[in-house]
Amino acid sequence: MPSIRAAFAVSVVFGAVVALGGCSKKPDASSAPPAAEPAAASQATPPPAPEAPAPAATMISLDIKDASGAAVSGDPVSGKSVFAQCETCHSKDAGTNKVGPSLHGIIGRHSGMIPNFHYSDANKNSGLVWTEQQLYAYLENPQKVVPGTFMTFTGVKDPQKRADVIAYLQENTK
């Protein structure tokens, strides 16, 4: 009901003017702070629209559920910097092994499949398939998921960082 709102706004402004007028009759009016007028004026205009949220990260949805059953998404851009840790030991390029096997095509790959890489028996015989969900569990604590693994890496404890690096792997190791 705009007419009522306008009437209200006018009455607010009018009230402020009357208040100021009242003040100005006092002998010490010059020392009164002039703050009332702009405040009243701002009530007559609608408040500015709320700021648009910061641009969302480039989240991609993953085939992962967290402990509470909620779907997990990851940001491959942030995942690139997490992958910097992996890169000391792993390449994402096919045929390139370092201390660890190439991670090319890792998502959906059966464990221990790089033919010319010398795996531990623990990793080779784990029977795991590196689904996104399995990587999410493994990368939290590799030694717990594959006891006896040669992968001397404590893991990525932050669940979002784990999701991010998996998003990065999904986009960059196909």
Does 78 bind ligand HEC (CB under 6 A)? Our answer is no
> Count of residues binding ligand HEC (CB under 6 A)?
27
Does 165 bind ligand HEC (CB under 6 A)? Our answer is yes
CB of 66 to ligand HEC, least distance (A): 18
CA-to-CA dists, residue 42 to 10, 48, 138, angstroms: 12, 10, 57
CA-to-CA dists, residue 31 to 1, 26, 85, angstroms: 40, 10, 64
Question: How far is the C-alpha of 33 from the C-alpha of 8, rounded, in Å?
Answer: 24
CB of 160 to ligand HEC, least distance (A): 13
Binding positions for ligand HEC, 104-163, rule CB under 6 A: 106, 111-114, 119-120, 122-123, 130, 139, 149-153, 156
Q: Of the candidates 137, 136, 171, which has an alpha carbon nearest to the alpha carbon of residue 59?
A: 171
Question: How far is the C-alpha of 142 from the C-alpha of 167, rounded, in Å?
Answer: 18
Nearer to ligand HEC, 72 or 86 (CB): 86
Using CB under 6 A, list all residues that contact ligand HEC.
85-86, 88-90, 99-101, 103, 106, 111-114, 119-120, 122-123, 130, 139, 149-153, 156, 165
